[in-house]
Amino acid sequence: MEHSKQTQYSSNEKKDTGDGGSVLNGHFDGMVKRPAGGTVRASAPQPLGAECGSHRSAASVMESWREERTRSVEDNEMSLPSLAAAYTTILRGLGEDPQRQGLLKTPWRAATAMQFFTKGYQEKIIDVLNDAIFDEDHDEMVIVKDIDMFSMCEHHLVPIFGRVHIGYLPNKRVLGLSKLARIVEIYSRRLQVQERLTKQIAVAITEALQPTGVGVVIEATHMCMVMRGVQKMNSKTVTSTMLGVFREDPKTRDEFLTLIRS
Amino acid sequence: MENHHASEMNGVVAEYLNMCIESKHNDLCKKEKDSKDSADADRLCNIEKAYSTVLSELGEDVDREGLLRTPLRAAKAMQFLTKGYKETTQDILNDAIFDENHDEMVIVKDIDLFSLCEHHLVPFFGKAHIAYLPNKKVVGLSKLARIVEIYSRRLQVQERLTKQIASAISEALEPAGVAVVIEAVHMCMVMRGVQKMNASTVTSVMLGSFHDDPKTRKEFLALTMRK
């Protein structure tokens, strides 16, 4: 499925028409390329596993990353007045007085805050990762756990926060450790659904490193469930994505899950 | 006989007039309710439109499946999170004040609290601890939690919230003293800005004997701030 809609703000490259999957938020089309454990992607033959329906070359991988950005800093500045006006309407609609001292600049503050909470739309994986992939002869599990994550529920526009645990089995290439946290930032600072967020992080790491396997576990609290609705204070949502050998080999998965618990 | 007949007529007319007045009253009430409902519906509609604008200005695709009904959901959520504006302490407290010959400290602690920062429209949440020294009148315990709800479900500043809760209890019960402590985490500090994950804000208001007598205050703090 092709997502070809251009917003008025995307001044960047046109969407690629060649690849069959896209990680533009909200349109995770499920074409997850399983790491073939091989080298150059262009020569990778059959995709593994049943869900992979598309054959992606190296070029299309890079281009799918290029598609991610939909917003720029100039776009932010241009949309700030209408965002602030919208927030003024919201304040009035709630019965508050937007002219009282505490609320005078609230529309602007709330608009800037919301833009910050969705700054993942301004960033590209490629910018963050390009320099930090290193050739290393290491094939043991690498785990970065307890990465604090803050996102926005796309259904209620209310925060989600929690922790992300990432593990991967390198295949001759390792990634700078903070880059894992930066990938989390890019995808979490958007209007999200926890399931999609988990998958996007896993796929991004897979596409960047072609490791033998990737595992991502997210444990989060949804304010939409805590502050309103069912109002269950202590509930937590856990989602996980296991790719490659993490999915196929139960022992690897167990090791990963044990290490993130400790 | 004419008089009797006249008074009977008067009775019938009076009854008829009463019926008219009553139905007019009901009509007016219904109109008022209808107009209130429609005013509420109008307000919801305006907030919904504003959220649609917010989504498109943020660069999102408002027609994608996950966002289709988000403006309505977000508007309703926001109304729920600010429902405290429509409630008053009088509504909830009137029946639950009892005469009781008790003058020792009553504490309700660890009351979960959720509010919205009025500066960034981002949640802050934490716990409230309330204590009062009754002066012949005690209040139903859950009513203390309901008072917290009324004032927290608004656009708030933590300092003002603490004070409003303390004043409400003070006015309703006229106790010998009231103490309120709120410890909260502000998402506007955690998710953005300085981004300090573990910082929390503590505010307190001490009235009456809690203010004047250090021993009373110490007892309260010892009983509530125990970890």
Q: What is the pLDDT of residues A6-39, one digit of tens each?
A: 333 333 333 333 333 334 465 554 444 444 443 3
Does residue B226 register a pLDDT over 90? no
| A191 to B66: CB separation less than 8 angstroms, yes or no | yes
Does residue A5 register a pLDDT over 50? no
Tokens 């896993």 belong to: A202
Size of interface A-B (CB pairs under 8 A): 152
8-state DSSP, B66: G
Tokens 């046109």 belong to: A14
ipTM of this predicted structure: 0.80
CA A53 to chain centre: 22
Residues in chain B with CB shorter than 8 Å from the CB of A81 are none
Cβ(B111)–Cβ(B148) under 8 Å? yes
Q: Residue count of chain B, please give it.
A: 227
Q: For chain A, what percent of residues have pLDDT higher than 70?
A: 73
Measured between CA atoms, how close is A135 to chain B, in angstroms? 34
| A121 to B60: CB separation less than 8 angstroms, yes or no | yes
SS (H, E, C) A46-62: CCCCCCCCCCCCHHHHH
Please name the residues between 166 and 225 in chain A that touch chain B, using a CB distance below 8 Å.
191, 193, 223-224
Q: In chain A, whose CA is at the least distance from the CA of B127?
A: A233
More confidently predicted of A55 and B23 = B23
Q: Name B8's Cβ contacts closer than 8 Å, sequence gap at least 6.
A: none
Cβ(B177)–Cβ(B210) under 8 Å? yes
What is the pLDDT at residue B73?
Answer: 95
Does residue B124 register a pLDDT over 80? yes
What is the pLDDT at residue B95?
Answer: 82
| B47 to A94: CB separation less than 8 angstroms, yes or no | yes
- Phi/psi region, residue B121 (left: phi>0; alpha: psi -120 to 50; beta: rest), is left
Alpha helices in B58-140 (DSSP H): 70-81, 89-93
Cβ(B64)–Cβ(A26) under 8 Å? yes
Q: What is the pLDDT of residues B68-84, one digit of tens each?
A: 999 999 999 999 999 99
Query: How distant, in Å, are the alpha carbons of A21, B4, B188, B227 from that of A113?
Result: 31, 79, 8, 33
Q: What is the pLDDT of residues A87-111, one digit of tens each?
A: 999 999 999 999 999 999 999 999 9
**Sign (positive/negative) of CA torsion B20, B26, B32, B35?**
negative
Does residue A84 register a pLDDT over 80? yes
Q: What is the pLDDT of residues A174-192, one digit of tens each?
A: 999 989 999 999 999 999 9
**Catalytic status, residue B119:** yes
| pTM value > 0.90 | no
